[in-house]
Structure 1
């Protein structure tokens, strides 16, 4: 099995977690080392967006 085929991805179009590059890159987030990490992909996006928003607010002050 190719190294990338062992990684996990979150499919934004379906909301499903997939192992390997089975879907189009346009819908795929990752790679993640574990299935659990991929399942929480949107949580990580939310955390990063909140941190970026806070940094923007601090910059504007």
Structure 2
């Protein structure tokens, strides 16, 4: 079993976690370390986007 099969992915079509890269690459997010993280993929994406927007704003204001 390759290392990829021990990681979790989130299928954006079925909105279900998958162990290993089962779905086509354009239908999945990840990898995630756990099934729980994969289930929370949309929350993780939203939090990361918020953090990146805040960092981007700070960077733009520092010019």
Structure 1 unmatched ranges of 5 or more: none
**Residue aligning to 2:35:** 35
CA distance in 2 between partners of 1:29 and 1:56 (Å): 23
Q: TM-score, normalised to structure 2's length?
A: 0.81
Judge which range, 49-58 or 2-11, deviates more.
49-58
Count of residue pairs the alignment pairs up: 61
The aligned counterpart of 1:24 is 24
In the TM superposition, structure 1's runs of 4+ consecutive aligned residues that sit over 3 Å from their partners are none
RMSD: 1.3
Distance 1:33 1:59 in 2: 30
After TM superposition, the structure 1 = structure 2 runs for residues 1-61 of structure 1, keeping only pairs within 5 Å, are 1-61=1-61
Q: Give the superposition deviation at 1:56.
A: 2.6
